[in-house]
Amino acid sequence: MRPQTMVPSGSTAPGRRELSRLRNRETLISAAADIFLSKGYEATTVRDIVAATDLALGTFYNYFTDKQALLRVIIGEHVGRVALSVREFRRKATNQDEFVRFSYEAYFRGLVADPVSFALASRPEASIATLTEVPICQEALRQLIEDIEHAKARGWLPDADSEYIAAALLGVGHEVSRIMISRRPVDPGYAARFAAALFSAGLSALPHH
C-alpha cells in the first residue's frame, strides 16, 4: 500500500520539515496496514512495523503512543474514505427512501470492497467515538449533515434536527456493518435493506425541530 501525503484543499503548502513529518507518518500507517492484514494485529509488534520502513524505532513514538493508537488512525482513515465516497451515491437520490437506501448500500459495499476496512472495522477500536476523532471522518460527517439539509429543503426528510438525524444514520450503519462483516457469507445488500427500512420507518415519527 503506497503512502499518500495529502494537503488539505485551500491550505498553504507545508515546508520541507513538515512534509517530511507527514511522509513519515503516512509511511508508518501504510506499513502497519499491510502487516496487520498479513500477520494479524495481535501478532504484530511495533518493531515489525518499523522494520518494514526505513525509519528508526524512536521515530514511531514521535507519531503514535503504541500500535493501538496507530490502528485507530488506520481504521478511521479507511472508514472515512469509504464514508466520503458514499456522498456520490447519496446525491443521486430523488426521494427519502433512495436517500437512506443509497447511503447504506454504498457504505456497506464500500467496506466490503476495502480489505483494510473489512478486516479491521469489527475490532473494538473501531468505535463511533474513535472514528469521529479522525479528520477525514469529521469531514464525512460535515458532508452528511449538509446533504441532510438539502434533502430537508426538497421535502424528502422531516424538519427535524439535522445533527441528530446524521448521528442516528451513522450509528445504525456502523453497528449493522460490524455484524454484517462478521457473518459468512457477507451480504451487504440485505444489511442495507434492513438498515434503510429500520431508519426510514423511524423518520416519519420524528418531532419537528
Measured distance CA(57)–CA(143) in Å, rounded:
38
Same-domain check for residues 53 and 77: no
Measured distance CA(90)–CA(102) in Å, rounded:
5
How many angstroms from the chain centroid is the CA of residue 193? 20
Same-domain check for residues 109 and 167: yes
- The CATH number linked to 22 is 1.10.10
Name the nearest CA neighbour of 121 among 47, 195, 33: 33
Q: Return per-residue pLDDT of the chain as tens, 209 residues.
A: 444 444 444 455 568 888 888 999 999 999 998 998 888 888 999 999 999 999 999 999 999 999 988 988 888 888 888 888 999 999 999 999 999 999 999 999 998 988 777 777 777 767 777 777 788 888 999 999 999 999 999 999 999 999 999 999 999 998 999 899 989 999 999 999 999 999 999 988 887 76
- Range(s) of the domain holding residue 21: 16-60
- Assess if residue 127 is contained within a domain: yes
Measured distance CA(46)–CA(57) in Å, rounded:
8
Measured distance CA(172)–CA(169) in Å, rounded:
6
Same-domain check for residues 181 and 97: yes
Same-domain check for residues 116 and 178: yes
